[in-house]
Copies of this chain bind each other. A is one copy, B any other.
Amino acid sequence: MSSDVSETPVQIDTGTAYGMAAPDFDAELVEVEAGTPTGEMLRRYWHPFGVADDATETPKQVRILGEDLILFRDGQGRAGLVYPRCCHRGTTLYYGKVEATGIRCCYHGWLFDVEGHCLDMPVETDGGQHKERYRQPWYPVHEYHGMLFAYLGPPEHKPVFPTYDIFDDVPDGWHIVADDNNIGLEGDPTPCNWLQTHENVMDPFHVFVLHAGFSGNQFVSEMAAMPDVSWHFTDLGVKSHQDRVLDDGRFFHRVTEVVMPNVRIVATPFVEFEGRATSVAWTLPISRTETKIFTLLKRPIGADRPRAMYNGKIWPDLTEEEHQRFPGDYEAQVGQGAITSHSEERLAGSDRGVSMFRHVFRKQIKTVADGDAPVMTAHYTVRAGNYIGDRDAVIELG
């Protein structure tokens, strides 16, 4: 067997994909499970996972931080969140029967209250003489303005439930809505790591490219111009200032903030309301590859809520080709993969907000790993907003 000499002697390609290192992710930015440093830090906070109507007499499967749980509401109106496998023989309580005082397993009838106490064992002697020896694992639930929150962390560190000052006062004719729509996805989870979704909040430049230039203007004209951007650490996270001079000469000072670990406070991009933001949202890590945003928002009763439009349609109605031609946050973030490869990132100057968020986030992980308490508060004063008017009058508002 012989061979011609056939390799090109002259020009050698540069920068090809040959020989690239295998991509990898940074576990600290990805893990959410119990026992991981990041998962333990996340477990030091309350997390929303559903709306009040999700807790009924029909047991429902929910997943929070990678943990599968069963949600129900007993006959006394108490929401219960319990480990799915019955502590006796392991049958899921999804098939349990909800009663006045708790949930009863279908297999042998053991009855547990919302805190997992065993109240009845119908096929054991005397209905269970030693019921106190058995406990169904459970988690505390807190309801806040129609949203259900759970605390999955160490009981001795359970914090008071934090409230937000913008919900202290509700104007006449307004109400507070608990929204599990996942920002236009009709409630379906987003199939990627939560941080890809969350750190986007500190990346205001993508609004100019993705939402205004690339896919037509998905929001309103006030948002279309390229802003001057700066970022600032806050006590509990990071905020960005996005400043624009509008066509009518007024100054538009837009402030967006993230609060540890997964709170996002973004004033409406439709600029319906000037002044402080009217909503607070949370990016829930359902698991390390499933994410859902829950939003509490103050709204005029009965007013339609604007939605982002793509080629004149809402997102769920797009064809595959329209997803390619009119991409939005979903495409940009899920398009990074189920878990992005941090090893391949090349952060640039415009990514400073992302870097600052990660810095604070990593600091909390270290704090908890060192045995200290991460940053938090009992009552949060919102800074985010759309502040429009004379420059000097609005620049200090958020």
A interface residue numbers (CB < 8 A to B): 1-8, 12-20, 23, 34, 43, 58-59, 67, 69, 82-83, 85, 87-92, 94-95, 97, 104, 106-109, 115-117, 121-125, 128, 134-140, 152-160, 162, 205-206, 208-210, 213-215, 226, 233, 235-236, 321, 323-325, 327, 331-333, 335-337, 340-341, 344-351, 360, 363, 373-378
Contact = CB atoms under 8 A, between A and B. Distances in A.
A17 B85 contact: no
B377 A6 contact: yes
A332 B108 CA distance: 9
Contact of A337 (B88, B90, B205): B90
Contacts of A15: 115-117, 135-138
17 contacts: A3-B236, A4-B377, A7-B159, A15-B136, A15-B137, A16-B116, A17-B69, A17-B152, A18-B154, A20-B83, A23-B85, A59-B324, A85-B341, A89-B345, A90-B341, A121-B348, A123-B208
A67 B343 CA distance: 18
A375 B7 CA distance: 11
Q: What number of copies of this chain does the assembly contain? A: 3
A336 B18 CA distance: 32
Given A90-B336, A324-B59, A376 B3 contact: yes
Nearest to A81: B17
State the majority secondary structure of interface residues on A. loop
Given A95-B324, A210-B106, A7 B373 contact: yes
A47 to B, nearest CB: 13
B90 A345 contact: yes
Given A121-B348, A349-B124, A376-B6, A92 B137 contact: no
Contacts of A121: 348
Contact of A360 (B1, B107, B152): B1
Contacts of A376: 3-4, 6
Residue with the greatest number of chain B CB neighbours at <10 A, chosen from A17, A121, A350:
A17
Given A58-B324, A134-B346, A108 B206 contact: yes
Residue with the greatest number of chain B CB neighbours at <10 A, chosen from A106, A115, A136, A138:
A106
Contacts of A83: 17, 20
A344 B88 CA distance: 8
Contact of A85 (B94, B235, B336): B336
B89 A3 contact: no
A211 to B, nearest CB: 10
Contacts of A333: 91
A335 B92 contact: yes
A236 B85 contact: no
Given A346-B88, A348-B121, A348-B124, A106 B7 contact: no
A89 B192 CA distance: 15
Contacts of A122: 208-209, 213
Contacts of A69: 17
A87 to B, nearest CB: 6
A3 B108 contact: no
B209 A123 contact: yes
A139 B160 CA distance: 56
Contacts of A206: 107-108
